[in-house]
Amino acid sequence: MKITLCQMNPTVGAINQNKVKIIDWYQRAVDDGAELVVFPELVLIGYPPQDLLLRDRFIQQAADALDE
């Protein structure tokens, strides 16, 4: 089994930008034959999200991006 570890630096709060990077890294990994692709924790919303987690709109944007 080929596993790809995608070490990337997401931007805190830039959900759409991070989503595009995740999809790009994922596609490259699959194209290289990866069967499992692993990303860092909180890669979609960036780390540390701190008070952004208190905003309903932020949570909804993250959920929508995750669904995509």
pLDDT digits (tens, 9 = 90+) for 11-43: 999 999 999 999 999 999 999 999 999 999 999
Distance of alpha carbon 36 from the chain centroid: 15
Query: Taking 90 as the threshold, does the pLDDT of residue 47 lie above it?
Result: no
Kindly list the domain boundaries of the chain, sorted by start residue: 3-67
- Report how far residue 53's alpha carbon sits from residue 60's, in angstroms, rounded to the nearest whole number: 10
Outline where DSSP puts E strands in the chain.
Answer: 3-5, 36-38
Query: Taking 90 as the threshold, does the pLDDT of residue 51 lie above it?
Result: no
**Residue entry with tokens 């309903």:** 56
Using CA atoms, how far residue 6 sits from 18, 51, 61, in Å, is: 13, 26, 23
